[in-house]
Each structure stands twice: as C-alpha cells, then as structure tokens.
Amino acid sequence: MHSEDAVAERPWGALFEGDRADGAIYRDPALFDAEMDRIFKNTWVWVAHDSELPGPNTFKTGHVGTSPVLITRDKKGQVHVLLNRCRHRAASVCEKKKGKQSVFVCPYHGWSYDPDGSLRKVPHRWGYDENFDPADYPLFSLRVEQYAGMIFATFNADAPPLEEHLGAARKWMDLFMKQGGGFGVKVLGQHSFRFPGNWKIQLENTTDAYHFPIVHKTFLDSLDEETENVFDVLGQGGWVEDLGNGHSVMVMIPSLIDLEADLEAPIPDRFADLAAELAAEGHDDLTVRRLVRAVGGTGFNLNLFPNVACSMAFFRVLRPVDVATTEITHVAIGMDGGESVGPANRARIRLHEHFQGPMGFGTPDDAEGWERVQRGVRAGEGMPILVNRGVSAPEGTAEPGHEAGDVSSEVGMRAAYRMWKRMMDE
C-alpha cells in the first residue's frame, strides 16, 4: 500500500518535537520502511568487533538494517562488508554465523566469490556472450571504517568519516576498551533473542537508569551487600550526557569511568580469590589489579546511534526486523591475553550470565517492559510519549557545551531522537 514516493513525502520528523513523540513512532509500518532508508542506509552502522575476524579468510554474517551482510577479512587482512546476495539471482551466498573459508559459493547456480567480494567463477560460462565480464559482478560492497576495534559500515558513500560521526563518543569508547586490563579486548561469545516491539524502544533503554531499581529489583535482591552498594545507580552522583550525532553516555558509577585509575585501592573482598588465582598464573601485582578491576566492567553505558551500546561490560546490538519486532544480540567481551587471563574471563562470563545471560535476571525483566510499551502504545491515539525527565547534572561532570542531566534523566533519549528527527527530515 505504501509506495516509496509516498513514504518519502511524509513529514516524519514532525513526530518528535522537543521532549515528546507521537506513538506512531513505534507502530507505523511506513515509518519503519522510511527509517531503514533514511537512517540505516545513510549513517554508520556497527557490524562487528575486530576480534571476530581473527585471521585471513575469516567471516561472520550480520545485518545493516534489514539488509543481510557478510563481514569478511580477506587473505591480505582487509575487512569487507558485502551484501549477502548473489549477483545472479539474489540467493544468499552464506548462511553460517561465522567461520573461515576462502570462497563463498552460491548454492543455486554455483557462482563463487572471494572474501573480498570479487566474482571468482561462473559455471558453464559458455552460456554468456563475449561481453560478459565477471569483474562487473562482484558482491555489492559497503563502505567500511573502524575505531577502537569496532567495525562500522554504511551504504552512504558521502557519509562523513567515521571518527567525525563518533565525535565526542570516541573518548568513551577508549575508556570502555580498558576492560582488556592491559591486554586487548576480544569477543568471548554472544546470544540473541527477539522481542515483539519497535527498535527505538531498545534504543531508549540503554540510556535509561530511571527504570533500574524498579525493573531490576530481583537482580538487586540477589546481590551481596557490597555489590548491591556498587549498583545503587541513582545514588552515586552519575549523569547522562548528549555527545552529539545521537550518541550519549549514561554514567551510573563514576568511580568506574576509568578502569586504570585508583589501582592502589584495596581489592574488593568478592574478588580476593580471583586475585590469588591470577597471581598464581604469574601476573605481577599491578597486572592482577588491572585485571580484577576490569572484570566487573565500566561504570557507564555508551549509546552509539543507531544500533549499538557499549553497556558496562558487553556490547548490546539491536537489529530492526519489522515495525514491531526487534532482535537483540548481547556480545560478551573479555581480555585477549590467552590462558593466563582465563580466570578473569571466566569471572566475566559468570557475571554476564547473572544479569544479561539468557537465564539471567536482567534480560527477562527488560524484555517484558519493552513488550508492554509496544502493546500499550496501541491505546490512546494522540497521547505523546514523554522523554522530558531530568534535572541538572552534578556540577563538574559533563563536558562544557553538552546537554546533560542527572543519571535518571532522559537526556540520552532526547539526543537520539534529535538525530532521528534530523535524518528523517532530510
């Protein structure tokens, strides 16, 4: 029913004004189609971490918006993001989640492609005339750039450089990657699930501390007193800061912004056994302290518009499926230090399982809230979605010139929706 021209003519940006949005932002299928075109095909979208492509001819599959892609590292070490679509009759050329292979063969007619996307071979080539040149039919390649081990891709050849797009968020990405504890950061594993709701509900969530003591009470009740005090996210002088271009940071535990600061502080009792185990692996005292401090993750969530969050100790990636379906992938990360940091990585996985794992306390409670938003927005036509919460940030926290509010504020949501509005109005 919705032609591309009709979608293009709608004044979608008017659905958000100031600090409130029309409920149609969650439920209009034509708007969803326009978002995929104006946002996900026009800006930088996260697709992988560098450690997921550990050597030549390694790959993973993923999506940019609703477009399936193949993320590869070729034999020269160059990273490519390619549409997972054969140039002949559009069949996908790879269905595996990840692996290593030097050629991708379409199962329909056997066209084969190198990891850089070039067309290697066409079976029964005699059926094409002399003007047919395989060099004219590579897999479609997206523009690719990286920062801090994070790989981004875009369809837009005219998009600004990635570092310009990230802007003030780069500082926080650098801080987040200190979770390597002096080693690099690597992906340890991941798990995905879907919820029946719009992608922007999830976009809002990782910059929302207001819900934490309410939705996650069962998680807080499961903690020992020392850890529960650490997770008093509304009571530690945190803040939310607009970083520009839709990005924001929510600082919940200011003492854990820089994991390499205050390393001389006593090791918490709950990590004493881990510290002893790491020392037994041969690490010196400073390295033990860095690793122990990194195990619990950072004290902030960094929201990178439009699809990934560096969320305390893991990556949370959203994938729009349709207007009322979103896939979430939680990517567990750890230290890239081999067997000697094994105890620290095992501790990180246990902490991840406790809150964000498939059977953890956090994910089921969050998902129910998101699902209820999608159900509730069907009622009350014309009633706005409010993102107006927030008093001033504690003095001396946010960068001068950045909008900021207290940790329970909705500054991050307003930042994302301003970027959304800007892109939907273009």
Tell whether the model's pLDDT for residue 75 goes beyond 70. yes
For CA atoms 262, 263, 264, 268, the dihedral sign is positive
The per-type count for the chain, helices as H runs and strands as E runs, is 14, 21
1-40 burial, b at 16+ Cβ within 10 Å, e below that, comes to eeeeeebeeeebbebbeebebbbebbbbebbbbbbbbbbb
What is the distance, to the nearest Å, from the Cα of residue 254 to the centroid of all Cα atoms in its chain?
Answer: 22
- Confidence at residue 218, expressed as pLDDT on a 0 to 100 scale: 66
Determine how many CB atoms are found less than 10 A away from the CB of residue 102. 11
As a 3-state breakdown, the chain gives helix, strand, coil percent values, each rounded to 5, of: 35, 25, 40
d(CA 80, CA 52): 13
CA 415/CA 302 separation, integer angstroms: 12
Query: Residue 231's pLDDT is what?
Result: 59
Distance CA 70, CA 51 (A): 16
pLDDT tens for 293-318 read 999 899 999 999 999 999 999 999 99
Confirm or reject CATH 3.90.380.10 for domain 168-425, answering yes or no.
yes
Whole-angstrom distance, CA of residue 99 vs CA of residue 54:
10
Other Cβ atoms less than 10 A from the Cβ of 185: the count is: 23
Range 75-100 average pLDDT: 98
pLDDT in tens, 2-47: 434 444 456 899 999 999 999 999 999 999 999 999 999 999 999 9
Per the structure block, which two tokens stand in for 141?
């390649």
Q: 388 and 19 in contact (C-beta within 8 Å)?
A: yes
User: How confident is residue 381, by pLDDT bands cut at 50, 70 and 90?
Assistant: confident
What is the dotted CATH code of the domain comprising 45-147?
A: 2.102.10.10
Query: Residue ranges per domain, the chain?
Result: 45-147, 168-425
DSSP string covering 35-78, please? HHHHTTTTS-EEEEEGGGS-STTEEEEEEETTEEEEEEE-TTS-
Phi, psi angles (nearest 5°) of residue 111: -60, 135
d(CA 104, CA 102): 7
Residues in the chain, overall count = 426
